[in-house]
Structure 1
């Protein structure tokens, strides 16, 4: 078992190591990861031109989608800001008769609800930049906020009535009933919710490792 895991551990270290040490950007590290994956596929004798071509086409499609979303979200954000809507949203959130942490809870609730109908790229690229100025105005740590968003979206993707993760699993295991999948995910939802509350109450859970690596 350990020998079977070793190549994957090496690939993870080779990909994430340069990012954490500052030796490479995420894009450069991703290229190293791709090279490592190709080498692993060759060693396992599962590499073929057909699979390489299929992977290249899928990569181009996914990259095009992400770049299109990035361009569209920048245009939307610029128009939204120019019309003064971003300032209005920030002033509304900051002006709520709530303590600062209560405002963060409101923002988290909005992101959670958006996680039902939308995929994470749309939320991260379009909606989070509209909510982030309020968090900045309240003097909260941005890295902490980003971690909250990530955990929150994971929880939303597990939550009925939509629960996108359930449909992903249904596609992998078509013989399973959706009701069984929902019940199986319930315990993970509880764990995700508990983790989110811990992050809200104890920000250092999310911050200690980055601070240890790069300083406060």
Structure 2
């Protein structure tokens, strides 16, 4: 959550793609999706990036919201208000970790 999304997508993902491919994860690609482990990994990163938009110190969404709120709304109030949404994002991330087939079901249905 501490890096900006540009650095993650342009530097970290290309460095980690060969590592994830070499791990030999057994993820069902339904016979349609090439490199299902990479698709799953990129979706995990995307979910983590969505969560990072709601968490300090980067938290772009928090600062955008502060910019459009009335002056009497404090940033600490916004931080408290996004806690349930952060928990939902983390729950979704855990679901994707434990059931990687959820990531690949839609592309396999659409293209299979």
Structure 1 residues 53-202: aligned runs within 5 Å: 112-114=1-3, 118=4, 120-140=5-25, 141-175=37-71, 176-202=73-99
Gaps of 5+ in 2: 26-36
Q: Does the 8 Å CA contact 2:2/2:57 hold for their aligned counterparts?
A: no
Alpha-carbon distance between aligned partners in 1 of 2:108 and 2:40, rounded to the nearest angstrom:
11
* In 1, Cα distance between equivalents of 2:103 and 2:62: 27
State the number of aligned residues: 100
Which residue number corresponds to residue 96 of structure 1?
Answer: none
For each residue in 1:89-128, what CA deviation from the matched residue of structure 2 results, as whole angstroms up to 9, or x when unmatched? xxxxxxxxxxxxxxxxxxxxxxx332xxx1x233211221
Q: Work out the CA distance in 2 between the residues paired with 1:150 and 1:162.
A: 15
Q: Which has the larger radius of gyration?
A: 1
The answer for unaligned runs of 5 or more in structure 1 is: 1-111
| Structure that is richer in helix per residue | 1
CA distance in 2, matches of 1:132, 1:190: 27
